[in-house]
Amino acid sequence: MDGAPGPLNHGGVRIETPWGTWEHAPLHEVVALLRELRAPWWVAGGYAIERAVGRAYRQHGDVDVALPRRDQLAVRRLLDGWDAHVALDGTLRPWEAGETLPARAHDIWVREHPGGPWRFQLMLDEIDGEQWVYRRDPRIRRPLAGLTVADDGFRRLAPEIQLLYKAKGVRPKDETDFAAVLPVLTDEQRRWLAGALETEHIAHPWITRLHLR
């Protein structure tokens, strides 16, 4: 993709969940909202991979944005007037203004108003000083300075880190993302991801492919 982020929802994918419909906002609208946030944040999920690839190649069910857990109250203030719910214990509950979420809370669903479609998802990442910490295996860390990539007015998660999240249970869309971005990964990115996969999973089907050129 060239230029500023555009509405890449490929015709408005609608996904039904027990807690309502997902009809995600165009990426550029979410980016425009979060530019007002005085804290670091980055586009994650499938869109982060797609931006790294440089072209649209599949549909997306949502827009994911991550930020440090320590900055959660700043983003909650920004979302004043929005309907934000936190995923906890297998369900959703409202995220009240001024509430500090428990450490086990990672995912937040956001929509303009109750009863409307969910528009984007926020994820809280663990930070230790100036290092990002992978919450599924805290042995895996990364300097914050190398966590994201600048992309025309916003930042996106580096593709090798997003692939690590996707490696837990490889769904068809995760395999599609891996295959699409693999040719553009540098040797350094391949080595980092292979090492992280070996740390968390010991053996993973992507490791061998990362070592091939």
Q: Which CATH number characterizes residue 180's domain?
A: 3.30.460.40
In this structure, is residue 7 part of a structural domain? no
How many angstroms separate the CA atoms of 126 and 96, rounded?
21
| φ and ψ of 6, to 5 deg | -120, 180
The total of structural domains in the chain comes to 1
How many angstroms separate the CA atoms of 91 and 22, rounded?
15
Q: What is the pLDDT of residue 12?
A: 54
**Domain hosting residue 112, numbered range:** 15-184
Q: Report the SS3 class of residue 172.
A: helix
Cβ–Cβ < 8 Å for 118, 109: yes
In this structure, is residue 189 part of a structural domain? no
In this structure, is residue 207 part of a structural domain? no
In this structure, is residue 101 part of a structural domain? yes
Q: What is the pLDDT of residue 169?
A: 85
One pLDDT digit (tens) per residue for the chain, 213 residues: 222 233 333 335 789 999 999 999 999 999 999 999 999 999 999 999 999 999 999 999 999 999 999 999 999 999 999 999 999 999 999 999 999 999 999 999 999 999 999 999 999 999 999 999 999 999 999 999 999 999 989 999 999 999 999 999 889 999 999 999 999 999 999 999 999 999 999 999 999 999 886
How many angstroms separate the CA atoms of 191 and 27, rounded?
30
How many angstroms separate the CA atoms of 157 and 183, rounded?
18
In this structure, is residue 6 part of a structural domain? no
Q: What is the pLDDT of residue 13?
A: 77
In this structure, is residue 10 part of a structural domain? no
In this structure, is residue 198 part of a structural domain? no
